[in-house]
């Protein structure tokens, strides 16, 4: 793992955007694995700025997102499809037909998850996977558990994750309790992974992910098995490194 501790959120975002931009320049039809949440918003803003300056062309880029809440429609402002359109896709020249987010409205979990894994295989894997990390060490919605799950699957969100995500909803009751998430195989098959974290509340999870044992109790610890991971954290998230 290559670990960069940078001064602040802005520098973290700049470094991540520069890596993604370089990938798109050398491979215009790159497949990006994208994440939602507060962490990557600054990275997406920097990518939008590069597009607006004429430095980046997304017309041949495809994207595959990590996860989606079960039960939310793409029009719901809290859905991850809405988030991606709002924070990135609506502002760049990506073909939305080439952007993929799991469907939260598909009731048949097995069907939805299998077709997502087939899609990732069809792309011959993701070129760069962007990851945030939960306070509990989750990546995507792969929550702490007794075993790693390989394929895309439906997950019951932990109380900690529901509590953390309540800030985006009017009340805790509105936070969905289930999500579809890419599993560890889809993530680990990515050719390169960028793990981002900012803020002191992520410091413990980052320390355990990088230095702790590889265990499904800290899902991000599996990244130690990948041979091309760049960890970019601000000073607060990196305070134990
Ligand atoms: P956050 O979420 O970026 O909103 O902190 C990260 C995550 O839960 O993976």
Q: For 89-116, how does the pLDDT look when each residue is reduced to its tens digit (9 = 90+)?
A: 999 999 999 999 999 999 999 999 999 9
pLDDT class of 223 with cuts at 50, 70, 90? very high
How far does the centroid of ligand 1 lie from the alpha carbon of residue 15, in Å?
A: 18
**Prediction pTM value:** 0.96
pLDDT class of 153 with cuts at 50, 70, 90? very high
The mean of the pLDDT values for the chain is 97
> Does residue 10 have an active-site annotation?
no
Catalytic residue among 65, 87, 136, 142: 136
Question: Could you tell me which residues come within 8 angstroms of residue 121 by beta carbon, excluding any fewer than 6 positions away?
Answer: none
Atom of ligand 1 nearest to the CA of 35: 9
Catalytic residue among 68, 138, 142, 198: 138
Q: For 32-84, how does the pLDDT look when each residue is reduced to its tens digit (9 = 90+)?
A: 999 999 999 999 999 999 999 999 999 999 999 999 999 999 999 999 999 99
Buried b (16+ CB within 10 A) or exposed e, 133-165: bbbbbbbbbbbbeeebbeebbebebbeebeebb
Q: For 179-216, how does the pLDDT look when each residue is reduced to its tens digit (9 = 90+)?
A: 999 999 999 999 999 999 999 999 999 999 999 999 99
How far does the centroid of ligand 1 lie from the alpha carbon of residue 112, in Å?
A: 23
Q: What pLDDT, on the 0 to 100 scale, is given for residue 188?
A: 98
> Does residue 201 have an active-site annotation?
no
Q: What pLDDT, on the 0 to 100 scale, is given for residue 17?
A: 98
């Amino acid at each position: 793992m290559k670990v960069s501790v940078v001064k602040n959120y802005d520098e973290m975002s700049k470094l991540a955007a520069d890596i993604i931009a370089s990938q798109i320049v050398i491979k215009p039809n790159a497949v990006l694995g994208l994440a939602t949440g507060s962490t990557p918003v600054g990275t997406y803003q920097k990518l939008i700025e590069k597009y607006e300056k004429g430095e980046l062309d997304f017309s041949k880029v495809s994207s595959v997102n990590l996860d989606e809440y079960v039960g939310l429609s793409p029009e719901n402002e809290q859905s991850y499809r809405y988030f991606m359109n709002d924070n990135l896709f609506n502002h760049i020249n990506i073909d939305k037909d080439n952007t993929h987010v799991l469907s939260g409205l598909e009731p048949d979990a097995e069907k939805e998850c299998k077709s997502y894994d087939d899609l990732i295989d069809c792309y011959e894997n993701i070129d760069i996977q962007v990851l945030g990390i939960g306070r509990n060490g989750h990546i995507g919605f792969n929550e702490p558990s007794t075993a790693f799950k390989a394929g895309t699957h439906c997950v019951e969100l932990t109380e900690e994750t529901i509590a953390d995500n309540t800030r985006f909803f009017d009340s805790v009751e509105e936070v969905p309790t289930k999500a579809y998430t890419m599993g560890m195989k889809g993530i680990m098959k990515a050719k390169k992974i960028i793990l981002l974290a900012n803020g002191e509340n992520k410091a413990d999870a980052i320390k355990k992910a990088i230095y702790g044992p590889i265990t499904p109790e800290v899902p991000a610890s599996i990244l130690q098995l990948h041979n091309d991971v760049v960890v970019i954290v601000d000073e607060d998230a990196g305070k134990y490194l």
